[in-house]
A and B are shown apart, each in its own frame.
Chain A
Amino acid sequence: MSDIAIRVDALCKRYTIGRRYVRRTAREALMSALSAPIRLARRALRSHDDRGDEDETTLWALKDVTFEVKHGEVIGVIGRNGAGKSTLLRILSRITEPTSGEAEIFGRVGSLLEVGTGFHPDLTGRENIFLNGAILGMRRAEVSRKFDEIVAFAEVERFIDTPVKHYSSGMYTRLAFAVAAHLEPEILVVDEVLAVGDAEFQRKCLGRMGEVARQGRTILFVSHNMGSIQALCSRAILLSHGVMLVDADASATVKRYLSDAATKDQVSRPPSKNGDPTITGVSAHVQDSAESPCVLISVEITSARARPVSLDFRLFDGMANPVGCGCLGAWTEEEKLHLNTGKNRYEVELDTSQLAIGSYILSLDLTIPLVQFFDRLEHAVRFDVARPPRPGKQLALPQRWGYGSYELPVRRAASTAPLESGATTRVVPPFA
């Protein structure tokens, strides 16, 4: 029993998706306002968990999830958006209570659901380190002891007494992660904090996580990055609509996720409640013509107000290894999509003439580059490239050879003298 770090037993979490704030008419609004004191009193007196007003619909964010984690184990949690991953972490971090079921945790938990929680822009780097440390559960003496190490890790020595609002976003993120990285709990619960920052920073973060894992600590790690899940975790669980589908070794779970999550060539989702632009539909149709093979991607974006956005496409092969990335609007102002209020449809062509034969998975991001992140659709649709070899070739590169998914466009440089001149190639007759 003593080697168990986390035991989760039949954990359930129900959310009520209320329509309370949607008031249709002035009369309804008035009636609602008048009855508010009564509702308020009633709600205050009743237990919160057995509210079941009829006009409210319920959503099971977690349903009967049961698993165990041993001490020293690094376990990944994967699943699509809304699968219940974050809810699970929130319950294990004691931020919210389960609706039913129970969990036991043996050891001191440090949870990292966000980097830089409690950072205040007006405070200096130094002040924020101490504040954030306290918020993450570190003692003042502990932060003092690790202070130099944290500053060095974040590479912000020169700006340590500058308010963090003057930091670049990279510096800010590095500092925030540096504090978190020096948390030394026995059990670390990490949400997708590695999704922020540049590649160098992500490498550093993953390195740090690996270090922590090697020290024999237990880690529960949520990520969309199948590469880091397979690199870091020995085991992974797959959640889908609140239900645990798989609990197996990491590569098996990733395989199942990929075959499960992206078998469709189209998806549709409801728009976000806060009115932010949302990708409400995606479909991919392959046009395997010999002349101009491409995949036609149609994207539907719903927005509550008109605004320019950038749409990024990230392409993965069938095992979720990244192949490439393309952006509409991130790098040039002219290519930005100017959303209108309501539904917007865009058709995008992705040239597949250099892609190896095999299946591909597409992820989409909707952002204002470096400013705001609206929506992310991870491993949204799958499509298969089966184009015929290009004119004049007998073969096309298949993914299964393991040489990669992108056929390099090699050709002879224009400056090379043609063979016919005989200058570079001497033909020696065999019997001369």
Chain B
Amino acid sequence: MSMTNATRTHYTFLRAHSGWRALDLAEFWRYRELLAFLALRELQVRYRQMALGAVWAIIQPLMTMVVFTVFFGYLGGFRAQSDKPYAVLTFCALLPWQLFANALTQSGNSLVANERLITKVYFPRLIIPVAPVVAGLVDFAIGLLVLLGMMLFYGLTPHWGILLLPAFVVFAVLAALAPGLWLSALNVEYRDVRATIPFLTQFWMFITPVAYPISIVPERWRTLYAVNPMVGVVEGFRWALLGATHPPLVPMLVSGAVTALMLIGGLYFFRRMEKTFADRV
């Protein structure tokens, strides 16, 4: 049996690398089936042996919405800040928030949770923190159907901005992946990260306009406020779905720039650290 043809097509050169390395996105693409299978595993495992199954994907944001509506909307008086129903405004923010928070938590813990894979098989390590983010999109899609139902119920018709919704979903995913990459790589060495993540997401929610409208933040502080990428994401969602008077350009630009910086930094940091994951995890 002749192997010469195959021999010429596959060639691997192994040596020590030091310093920064370029991303190998072509290789990442070659492994897309593995990414799909790992995301699928995430979903299959999550909903197996659950009586309610995927209903859980909407129970959490719905219950949070009810609590927020009662305490912040009615008792806190935020209801009066907008002409749109407070419940819908909140749910519209909770969806990207849940997508973000779950993605951040799971990708942050992903490398440590998949220690066996990392120490036994080679594949682009980037797949590990990305897979749970992809899986989270399914939960998000289910929640989105509920939101559209609520909008129908309240008689709100989406405007043309809804066409940009996919872009905002990608924005939310990247905003989660950016810190997720940093945290997952750091988690390999410092398990302190695992303890930090729940606190971090909780803290992050308070500085994001989920329970309250952005209007309570004084105008001159809004640009600084938007350094939190989720400000741009949440405001973008509210604009795209519910159509506020004008698109929140400044917060979106600031949030977008911060996300891009963190993401590129995260990708390179991850790439730099990945060669020692198997030795350290």
Contacts and interface: CB of A to CB of B under 8 A. Distances in A.
Interface of A: 2, 5, 15, 36, 40, 43-44, 47-50, 71-72, 90-109, 111, 113-114, 117-118, 120, 122-123, 127, 130-131, 134-137, 139-140, 163, 186, 215-216
Contacts of B123: 135, 137
Nearest to B279: A96
Contacts of A122: 44-45, 48-49
Contacts of A131: 37-38, 40-41
A216 B1 contact: yes
Given A2-B4, A40-B190, A123-B45, A98 B14 contact: yes
A186 B6 contact: yes
A130 B190 CA distance: 33
Interface string B158-193: 000000000000000000000000000010011010
Contacts of B37: 130-131, 134-135
18 contacts: A2-B4, A15-B279, A49-B18, A50-B18, A90-B278, A95-B278, A96-B276, A97-B276, A103-B13, A105-B14, A106-B11, A111-B122, A113-B120, A117-B121, A122-B49, A123-B41, A131-B40, A135-B121
A136 B31 CA distance: 11
A163 B143 CA distance: 29
Given A102-B15, A106-B10, A40 B3 contact: no
A111 B14 CA distance: 15
B17 to A, nearest CB: 6
Nearest to B17: A97
B269 interface: yes
Contacts of A105: 10-14
Going nearest first, the 8 A-B pairs with the smallest beta carbon separation are: A216-B1, A94-B122, A102-B15, A105-B12, A134-B37, A103-B14, A117-B120, A108-B10
Contacts, number: 138
Contacts of B155: none
A14 to B, nearest CB: 10
A36 B10 contact: no
B157 interface: no
A139 to B, nearest CB: 7
B26 interface: no
Contact of A186 (B3, B17, B278): B3
Given A48-B276, A102-B14, 6 more contacts: A2-B7, A95-B119, A98-B15, A101-B15, A113-B120, A134-B38
Contacts of B273: 44, 48
Contact of A215 (B1, B16, B276, B278): B1
A205 B4 CA distance: 28
Contacts of A107: 3, 6-7, 10
Interface string B240-274: 00000000000000000000000000000100110
B3 A47 contact: no
A5 B41 CA distance: 35
A97 B34 contact: no
Contacts of A163: 48
Contact of A106 (B7, B38, B116, B120): B7
A104 B121 contact: no
Given A47-B19, A49-B18, A109 B48 contact: no
B275 interface: yes
A216 B14 contact: no
B242 to A, nearest CB: 39
A98 B16 CA distance: 5
A15 B19 CA distance: 19
B33 interface: yes
B204 to A, nearest CB: 20
B270 to A, nearest CB: 11
B27 to A, nearest CB: 11
Contact of A104 (B11, B16, B190, B275): B11
Contacts of B80: none
Contacts of B1: 215-216
Contacts of B33: 134, 139-140
A220 to B, nearest CB: 14
B44 A117 contact: no
A103 B8 CA distance: 16
A51 to B, nearest CB: 10
B14 A113 contact: no
B41 A91 contact: no
Contacts of A101: 15-16
B117 interface: yes
A15 B16 CA distance: 14
A137 B12 CA distance: 15
B44 A95 contact: no
Contacts of A100: 16
B13 A95 contact: no
Nearest to A21: B191
A132 to B, nearest CB: 9
> A2, A40, A102, A134: which has the most chain B beta carbons within 10 Å?
A134
Given A122-B45, A123-B41, A95 B122 contact: yes
> A5, A43, A48: which has the most chain B beta carbons within 10 Å?
A48
A163 B6 CA distance: 37
Contact of A40 (B118, B121, B186): B186
Interface in B181-215: 186, 189-190, 192
Contacts of A72: 3
A171 to B, nearest CB: 19
Contacts of B14: 91-92, 94, 97-98, 102-105
Nearest to B36: A134
Nearest to A135: B121
Nearest to A9: B15
Contacts of A15: 279
B13 A102 contact: yes
B10 A186 contact: yes
Contacts of B272: 48
B121 A113 contact: yes
